[in-house]
């Protein structure tokens, strides 16, 4: 009996160490999502979950970057920050309810800060994304098709201008479930005019962020955010996309991660839908009715 109690205690201590180490990784300056995941894989292999810089000798960082990390560590500024974020609501890659689909992508997020209903992570999800400059045709299709999808799925988007925010509003309007993956920390909203919508999703749905709460928008956050939208789902709908756009980046990630890419129809002569037809040419599935998606491929 005592051996079982001791083993349980040791396992609990290791789990606590892992959680602290994961949060600490989020604080290290200058790391991208790929580097954080590589360090985590190293820590698992070495069973090394101490908050120190032992991992640096394995990283091909420049001297300047290494010095920046060393100075940050020695300053101790991370200690109060670690204490601060330890009190926040987070989902970690070691948690039982961390979505399995998300765990399977390249460089999955180690920590997701969240606001709202964490249980939505256990539900089947559908990603719906598109242009920031939404056209009337796209609005009409979304208003007609989304309620049917929302009856079967939790709808995931990015709370960005245009398609994303309309998607969240339609789903909430029909009492559906929605998840917004944002490209800032939870204390920020981008664009600023979506602040009220973000708060509403945080009350009636779920907001997820890979970024520290006080972090504002950065250009590289949004491609990183897009991989999470893709990772949460098995199917992703491209509503409206120019050939060169963030939406096409999301579609490329979905293809790389072997997700089903579905494309809504649009005006073949309009450049706003050029990305849609490029994806169809590459083998994406064409949506002619909302039921196409639910009948599978």
Mean pLDDT, to the nearest integer, of 103-120?
Answer: 96
Q: CB neighbours (10 Å) of residue 119?
A: 11
Write the pLDDT tens digit of every residue in 85-107: 999 999 999 999 999 999 999 99
CB 165 within 8 A of CB 181: no
Q: Is the pLDDT of residue 297 over 80?
A: no
CB 187 within 8 A of CB 213: yes
Confidence (pLDDT) at 1: 52
Sequence ranges of the chain with CATH classification 3.40.50.450:
113-294
Mean pLDDT, to the nearest integer, of 189-216?
Answer: 95
CB 218 within 8 A of CB 66: no
Beta bridge partners of 260: 235
Q: Residue 49: CB partners within 8 Å, gap ≥ 6?
A: 14, 17, 18, 20, 21, 43
Domain 113-294 has CATH 3.40.50.450: yes
Is the pTM above the cut of 0.75?
yes
Mean pLDDT, to the nearest integer, of 169-197?
Answer: 95
Q: Is the pLDDT of residue 11 over 90?
A: no
Mean pLDDT, to the nearest integer, of 156-174?
Answer: 95
Write the pLDDT tens digit of every residue in 278-294: 999 999 999 999 989 87
Confidence (pLDDT) at 67: 93
DSSP letter at 25 equals: H
Confidence (pLDDT) at 266: 87
């Amino acid at each position: 009996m005592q051996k079982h109690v001791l083993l349980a205690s040791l396992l609990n201590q290791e789990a606590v160490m892992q959680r602290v180490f994961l949060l600490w990784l989020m604080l290290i300056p200058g790391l991208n999502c790929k580097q954080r995941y590589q360090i985590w894989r190293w820590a698992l292999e070495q069973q090394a979950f101490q908050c120190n810089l032992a991992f640096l000798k394995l990283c091909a960082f420049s001297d300047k970057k290494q010095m920046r990390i060393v100075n940050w560590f020695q300053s101790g500024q991370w200690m109060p920050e670690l204490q601060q974020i330890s009190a926040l609501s987070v989902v970690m890659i070691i948690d039982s309810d961390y979505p399995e689909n998300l765990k399977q992508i390249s460089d999955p997020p180690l920590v997701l800060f969240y606001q709202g209903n964490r249980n939505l992570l256990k539900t089947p999800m559908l990603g719906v994304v598109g242009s920031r400059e939404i056209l009337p045709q796209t609005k009409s299709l979304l208003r007609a098709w989304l309620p049917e999808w929302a009856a079967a799925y939790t709808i995931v988007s990015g709370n960005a201008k245009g398609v994303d925010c309309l998607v969240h509003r339609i789903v909430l309007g029909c009492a559906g479930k929605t998840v917004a993956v944002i490209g800032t920390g939870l204390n920020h909203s981008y664009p600023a005019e979506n602040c009220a919508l973000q708060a509403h999703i945080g009350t009636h749905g779920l907001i997820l962020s890979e970024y520290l709460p006080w972090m504002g928008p950065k250009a590289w956050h949004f491609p990183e955010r897009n991989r999470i939208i893709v990772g949460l789902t098995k199917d992703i709908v491209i509503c409206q996309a120019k050939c060169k756009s963030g939406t096409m980046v999301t579609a490329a990630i979905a293809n790389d991660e072997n997700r089903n890419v579905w494309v809504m129809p649009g005006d073949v002569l309009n450049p706003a839908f050029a990305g849609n037809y490029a994806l169809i040419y590459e083998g994406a599935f064409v949506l002619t009715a909302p039921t196409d998606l639910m009948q599978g491929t």
